[in-house]
Structure 1
Amino acid sequence: MTDTPVAEMSFEQAMAELEQVVTQLERGEVPLEESISLYQRGSELRKHCETKLKAAEEKVAAITLDANGEPTGTKPVEGL
């Protein structure tokens, strides 16, 4: 686990750390208090990943295509 604030992480960084958290919790080899902290961190990481993924999906959905099906640019997506 890193000390990097979740809000500053890229999607890839957050996913990698989330996988580590899940692995540690699944093993059940950490004390209860640490498990609670890991669970809280994991919850923050999951939410961050979902937000980043939704933003990326919205950007992809905003790509406009010309008559030949070629991308011509993007249109603004409300809220981004």
Structure 2
Amino acid sequence: MPKKTGAEATPASSTSLSPDLRYEDAVSELEGLIATMESGKLSLEDTLTAYKRGAELLKHCQHVLGQVEQQVKMVQG
């Protein structure tokens, strides 16, 4: 029984996020993780790994959006 396919969490993907990770790429990976987790095909351990990666991606996206919001406020000044 295969454990993982496609956008599922891998040990390499559970490391810290690169600060250069593009917002769009983070959202895309997050959507893939959600779909994989919802499929019910992951083991409990793999689900936990995917959840942790998703939490990292969400935090990254929120940070990027906060930075953009600050830049917009400065432009509107």
Structure 2, gaps ≥5 residues long: 1-6
Q: Equivalent pairs: percent with the same residue?
A: 32
Length, aligned pairs only: 65
RCO (CA 8 Å, sep 6+): is it higher in 1 or 2? 2
Q: Secondary structure at the match of 1:6?
A: coil
Q: CA deviation at 1:61?
A: 1.1
Matched, 1:20 2:28: no
**1:58 maps onto 2:70 in alignment:** yes
User: How far off is 1:26 after superposition?
Assistant: 1.0
- Flag as ranges the 4+ runs of structure 1 deviating above 4 A: 2-5
What is the TM-score normalised by the length of structure 1? 0.71
Q: Which has the higher helix share?
A: 2
Contact 1:25 1:35 in 2 (8 A): yes
Give the CA RMSD over aligned residues: 1.9
- Structure showing greater radius of gyration is 1
What stretches of structure 1 of length at least 5 have no aligned partner? 65-74, 76-80
**1:6 correspondence with 2:17:** yes
Deviation, 1:6, is 1.9
